[in-house]
Chain A
Amino acid sequence: MTETRTMTLNMGPQHPSTHGVLRLVLELDGEVVVRCVPHIGYLHTGMEKTMEDKRYQQALTVTDRMDYLAPMSNNLAFVLSVEKLLGIEATERARIIRVMMAELTRIKSHLVWLGTHALDIGAMSVFLYCFREREKILDLYEMVSGQRMMSSYIRVGGLMADLPDGFERRVRDFIDEFPKRVDEYEDLLTHNRLRQQRTVGIGVLKREEAIALGVSGPTLRAAGVPWDIRKVWPYSGYDRFRFDISLAHNGDVYDRYRCRIFEMRQSTGIVRQCLDRLPKGPVNIDNPKIVPPPKPMVRRSMEALIHHFLLYSQGFAVPAGEAYVPIESPKGEIGFYVVSDGSNKPYRVRVRPPSLLNLQALPRMVEGRLVADVVAVIGSIDIVLGEIDR
């Protein structure tokens, strides 16, 4: 008489393919995954709680550290919620710069995804190429904000500073070159037979399952749902840009790859449109109670000095109420539910974490499949544990 016994395998938290510190407990029958139970929380640092104790300008810096591959998207989502509570809207120039930075962020985040995903399933060189291009976006980040990763560039009421000299030319150089680079990645990967064997038909998530599980972003669009918040509820002026949303129908790892490649190309187009129509003008709203006055003014005007002092010692008060503005981050729908009690610190901040909900769908995608596919699937949903655990 034969007896079926399953083996329990612990994968992570320190495992190169778990993209951070994710721990999976896999129950295996031979090489087939019978059950997959994710354990998270290794990076929990209480960010939502931390933000309750920070003034609004300070809380913004916490958002950089959630999804550290897409800091500007997080900045933008938080700032839009706070601006909604304050009843203000950024200037035209600031809005277009925000869109441009958000799209560069999308390219940057997708590049890390593409590189690490290719690496996970054995394509080392693509990783190096992707990080070469990402480096250029990090340089652009450094130009505008002085920081390569934790930029905090998008601020309530506008931006930290206007674009530096020569920035537009650098961006143009990048987007002229970048489509050729995407062609290169595609040459290496799209019709690669080995890669297709590892990705086509693997980790399938059906349309209905994806919606019920709250999956968003490219993972949702790969399952055949044409849902992109930039199109549905345009924020920051997205309704005036021409771009297409990605869509695929099989919901497997390969389709997620195709969606993200498509999005990188579209984002390049949006950045180009931003550069073409970038108007002159101020980047901050004219409200010294919210936006600090320029430094030279502080030295000359008593009034500016007072505003400067008040903003940096007390911050600004936000009217009591609540707001939730979702945006389309590289990972999916991210939104900050900000509850204000009328003081200068948020009463409660809740992040709608796209990575958390995408990860929740993982057992559905890997159960019944081979253990080697788990690695390919984790890579395909593009999770960042900093955002999942917060």
Chain B
Amino acid sequence: MVVKLRERFPDAIREVRHVRDELTVVVAPAAIREVCRFLRDDPELRYEFLSDLCSVDRLRLPEASPRFEVVYHLTSMRNSSRLRLKVRVEAGEPVESVTGVWEAANWMEREVYDLMGIPFRDHPDLRRLVMPDDFEGHPLRKDFPVTTEPRWWEEEGRR
């Protein structure tokens, strides 16, 4: 699988790790959509099920640059195999949306955008998912204050 990926995307594969039976491939941000499309459509691989899409703020990790990591957990039902893809970006740097590859990514990308503040390019409906629309800040970031009083928001129409 990795050989195939390397052949197809020689410049986009940054790192491959196989730890505790979990395969992780780090992909260049600009290529993520094409890599995902390839993994979904390749007749032998068929990663057609997006299990999860989430993000990690690496601010307090030893290796903190680039700061954010978007993590994709892919499942191939045909081969019963799992794969983790990662994309690393700096704050404010957009990631290619994969909603065109898996519809499932829609809400999960919105959640990442909402809670971690990572924008997705070409997302059809990039709004906050769980926080109110007028909320400021991104709560899952490591530098989001957890001890201050949360700002209260007003009900719609009473502004």
A residues lining the B interface (CB < 8 Å): 40-41, 44, 46, 48-49, 53, 84-85, 87, 211-215, 225, 227, 232-233, 321-324, 326, 333, 335, 337, 339, 341, 347-348, 350, 352, 356-357, 360, 389-390
4 nearest CB pairs, A to B: A214-B104, A41-B130, A350-B54, A352-B52
A53 B146 Cβ-Cβ under 8 A: yes
B131 A350 Cβ-Cβ under 8 A: no
Q: Is B96 an interface residue (CB 8 A)?
A: no
B73 A352 Cβ-Cβ under 8 A: yes
Q: How far does the Cβ of B9 sit from chain A's closest Cβ, in whole Å? A: 23
Q: Is B20 an interface residue (CB 8 A)?
A: yes
B98-136 residues with Cβ-Cβ distance < 8 A to A are: 102-104, 106-108, 115, 128-132
Q: Which residue of A lies closest to B73 (CB)?
A: A324
A212 and B52 CA atoms in complex are apart in Å by 12
Contacts of B20 in A (CB 8 A): 84-85, 87, 321, 323
A294 and B52 CA atoms in complex are apart in Å by 39
Q: Is B33 an interface residue (CB 8 A)?
A: no
B77 A227 Cβ-Cβ under 8 A: yes
A46 and B57 CA atoms in complex are apart in Å by 15
A323 and B71 CA atoms in complex are apart in Å by 12
Q: Is B3 an interface residue (CB 8 A)?
A: no
Q: Is B56 an interface residue (CB 8 A)?
A: yes
A26 and B148 CA atoms in complex are apart in Å by 37
Contacts of B144 in A (CB 8 A): 49
Q: Is B49 an interface residue (CB 8 A)?
A: yes
Q: How far does the Cβ of B65 sit from chain A's closest Cβ, in whole Å? A: 16
Please give 5 more A-B residue pairs, beta carbons under 8 A apart, in addition to A213-B102, A232-B80, A337-B73. A44-B130, A46-B139, A213-B103, A324-B52, A390-B130
B19 A321 Cβ-Cβ under 8 A: yes
Contacts of B129 in A (CB 8 A): 40-41
A225 B106 Cβ-Cβ under 8 A: no
A46 and B146 CA atoms in complex are apart in Å by 11
B146 A49 Cβ-Cβ under 8 A: yes
Q: How far does the Cβ of B79 sit from chain A's closest Cβ, in whole Å? A: 10
Q: Which of A211, A215, A326, A339 contacts B48 (CB 8 A)?
A: A211
A214 B84 Cβ-Cβ under 8 A: no
A49 B140 Cβ-Cβ under 8 A: yes
B131 A213 Cβ-Cβ under 8 A: no
Q: Which residue of B lies closest to A333 (CB)?
A: B51
Contacts of B131 in A (CB 8 A): 41, 44
Contacts of A337 in B (CB 8 A): 52, 54, 71, 73
Interface centre among B51, B57, B102 (most CB of A within 10 A): B51
Q: Is B50 an interface residue (CB 8 A)?
A: yes
Q: Can you list 10 pairs linking A and B with CB atoms under 8 Å apart?
A: A85-B20, A211-B49, A212-B102, A213-B103, A214-B49, A214-B102, A232-B80, A324-B73, A326-B82, A347-B60
Q: How far does the Cβ of B40 sit from chain A's closest Cβ, in whole Å? A: 9
Q: A44-B130, A46-B139 are in contact. Are A360 and B52 (CB under 8 A)?
A: no
B139 A49 Cβ-Cβ under 8 A: yes
